[in-house]
A and B are shown apart, each in its own frame.
Chain A
Amino acid sequence: MNTIRLDKARDPAFKRQVEKESGQNLSLCYQCGNCTAGCPGAQVYDRQVSQIMRAVQLGLKEEALKNRSLWLCLSCSTCSARCPNDIDVAAVMETLRMMARREGWVQDRPIESFWKAFLDTVKYTGRSYELGVMADYMARTLRGWGNLEIAPMALRKNKMPFVPSVIHGREEVARIFKRYAEKRS
């Protein structure tokens, strides 16, 4: 069990920052646990959604940001649909994910790499390209072998074209990514 010194660890500005970026009033959360009860990712989370919500309320920045759950979140919005106080919990999770990335606290590199691989194919071709994403992801992480199990069927059914679809406006799309990267740095 972790012991947390609330008098030392609290950062009240953190809660305000999360509220501002997510547009949600976190004081409304009364810890009913409905978000956790309906969360399809709960089985693999290292910290449950309701615990993360509580950590944000208390201003416990590290508790809220340093966990794998933010990356394992499936963005299904079930938590938001079931919150009795109408908090968009999924939006809070997404905000925290972005904040954790800014802090350099990414707790699940493979999932982060998958997103990168996906966005790279969009950046270079204008569209996502399944086989390219898979190859890029596996090269980056040396993981993802479990997917080879479905490869024979996908190839037999010709569901994964070898040639990517490249759009005329791919440079226009690449410029979106370039400006985004410049703004971030």
Chain B
Amino acid sequence: MKYAYYPGCSGHGTSVEYEASTRAVCNALNMDLVEIEDWNCCGSTPAHSVSHELSAALSARNLLQAAKTGADCVISPCPSCSSNLKMARWRMQNAEFKAKTDELLDAPTPANADGGADLMETYSVLQAIVENVGVDAIARRVTYPLEGLKVVTYYGCLLSRPAKVAQFDDPENPVSLDNVMKALGAEVLPFALKTECCGAAMGIPDVNIPGSLSGRILDTARAVGAEAVITACPLCHMNLDLRQRQAARISGKAFFGLPVFYYTQMIAYAFGLSREAMRLDKLAVNPYPLLDKIAARREARMAEALKTAGAAS
């Protein structure tokens, strides 16, 4: 299937490892990604906090560019981008809102039969993988299973909310990432804070907000016995990984030392893709001791299997 791909701005900066692993994994799963030409920033939270029309106009330009690719839909790894693009299309189904947004654009958006804007739908890459490729196809492709690595999955706010627009998974207890991680051979632990906000971009004006919220998420992850946290959002990842020391200090805890991976990095690892497909070197919290542990568990399991096979013959 052909997808119009919207990388999002953080793919060029704070989440280069997400961008690299997303592309590599999509390629391995035979998803045909065509990057939207000359895409612009979706405006993120600042745009929709200031004006819905401004936010929709910024997104609409991207969706019009996306239509040129001839793909069926748009996908983006970033939940905030995909939420904004989705929301723009959803709001512009209303003819009055479409007219107000069109006033901001060089040319009006094409109309559909109901007078709303005729724009492409957007999905998160996670949704496209889970719904179009399927968890079974992922499981079949696994070469290096994660050997029961204990993880918690952290979805953040926007993958499944607001539910009426997101139309994906459960807004309170999503399971799509859990299913992906299980297919890779990880043990997914019950985690109550799957969709509790990490503090988003509030760290720029006040580090205490993400510090305390992310501190609580990391502290709970450690308390349930997680060896790693799995995310699907660049902003969540930044708060949990890059700001992990800060979060520990602000929430009055000792440094957690919990590696935080993008789910795509874990898929790339389990598929045995190249180093460039994972970009683990970009993570702030050192992931290598944990990966050594996985390798040691694999060796132990193989030795055990050989011994059993030897005893049987």
Q: Do A and B bind each other?
A: yes
What residues make up the interface of A, taking CB atoms closer than 8 Å to B? 40-41, 43-44, 72, 74-78, 80-82, 88, 90, 94, 97-98, 101, 108, 110-111, 113-116, 118-119, 122, 126-130, 133-134, 137, 141, 143-144, 146-147, 149-150, 153-154, 157-161, 165, 167-170, 172-173, 175-177, 179-180, 183
* A contacts with B: majority SS: helix
A183 & B246 in contact (Cβ 8 Å cutoff): no
Question: Known: A40-B196, A43-B212, A150-B242. Is A161-B46 also a contact (CB below 8 A)?
Answer: no
Q: How many B residues touch the partner, as a band? A: 35 or more
Question: Known: A127-B9, A176-B105. Is A76-B204 also a contact (CB below 8 A)?
Answer: no
Judge if B161 is at the interface, Cβ distance under 8 Å. Answer: yes
Min CB gap B123→A, angstroms? 18
A94 & B197 in contact (Cβ 8 Å cutoff): no
What's the count of A-B pairs with C-beta under 8 Å? 169
Judge if B308 is at the interface, Cβ distance under 8 Å. Answer: no
What residues of B have a CB within 8 angstroms of the CB of A82 in the complex?
172
Extra contacts besides A76-B158, A78-B157, A167-B38 (10): CB < 8 Å: A40-B199, A44-B209, A78-B195, A114-B205, A146-B206, A157-B242, A157-B283, A160-B14, A161-B13, A180-B54
Partner of A169, one of B38, B54, B202: B38
Question: Known: A122-B58, A159-B16. Is A77-B204 also a contact (CB below 8 A)?
Answer: no
Judge if B313 is at the interface, Cβ distance under 8 Å. Answer: no
Bitwise, B1-39 to A at CB < 8 A (1) or not (0) is 000000001101110100000000000000000000011
Judge if B201 is at the interface, Cβ distance under 8 Å. Answer: yes
What residues of B have a CB within 8 angstroms of the CB of A180 in the complex?
51, 53-54, 57, 104
Question: Known: A127-B40, A147-B207, A167-B38. Is A115-B46 also a contact (CB below 8 A)?
Answer: yes
What residues of B have a CB within 8 angstroms of the CB of A168 in the complex?
38
What residues make up the interface of B, taking CB atoms closer than 8 Å to A? 9-10, 12-14, 16, 38-41, 43-51, 53-54, 57-58, 61, 103-106, 157-158, 161-163, 171-172, 195-197, 199-209, 212-213, 242-243, 245-246, 281-284
A119 & B242 in contact (Cβ 8 Å cutoff): no
What residues of A have a CB within 8 angstroms of the CB of B45 in the complex?
75, 115
Q: List 26 A-B contacts (CB under 8 A).
A: A75-B45, A76-B158, A76-B200, A77-B161, A78-B157, A78-B196, A81-B163, A81-B171, A82-B172, A98-B51, A108-B205, A114-B201, A119-B46, A119-B50, A127-B9, A130-B10, A146-B246, A153-B242, A153-B284, A157-B283, A159-B242, A168-B38, A169-B61, A180-B53, A180-B54, A183-B104
Min CB gap A68→B, angstroms? 11
Cα-based distance from A78 to B172 in the complex (angstroms): 8
A126 & B246 in contact (Cβ 8 Å cutoff): no
What residues of A have a CB within 8 angstroms of the CB of B282 in the complex?
157-159
B43 & A122 in contact (Cβ 8 Å cutoff): yes
Question: Known: A127-B41, A154-B242, A175-B106. Is A149-B207 also a contact (CB below 8 A)?
Answer: yes
What residues of A have a CB within 8 angstroms of the CB of B44 in the complex?
118, 128
Partner of B40, one of A72, A122, A137: A122
Min CB gap B65→A, angstroms? 8
Partner of B9, one of A90, A128, A157: A128
Min CB gap B220→A, angstroms? 13
What residues of A have a CB within 8 angstroms of the CB of B208 in the complex?
44, 146
What residues of A have a CB within 8 angstroms of the CB of B195 in the complex?
78
What residues of B have a CB within 8 angstroms of the CB of A177 in the complex?
54
Q: Which of A44, A76, A158 has the most CB of B within 10 A?
A: A76
Partner of B205, one of A101, A111, A175: A111
B246 & A150 in contact (Cβ 8 Å cutoff): yes
What residues of B have a CB within 8 angstroms of the CB of A149 in the complex?
207, 245-246
List of 7 A-B pairs having minimum Cβ-Cβ separation, nearest first: A146-B207, A115-B46, A76-B157, A76-B197, A40-B197, A77-B161, A118-B46
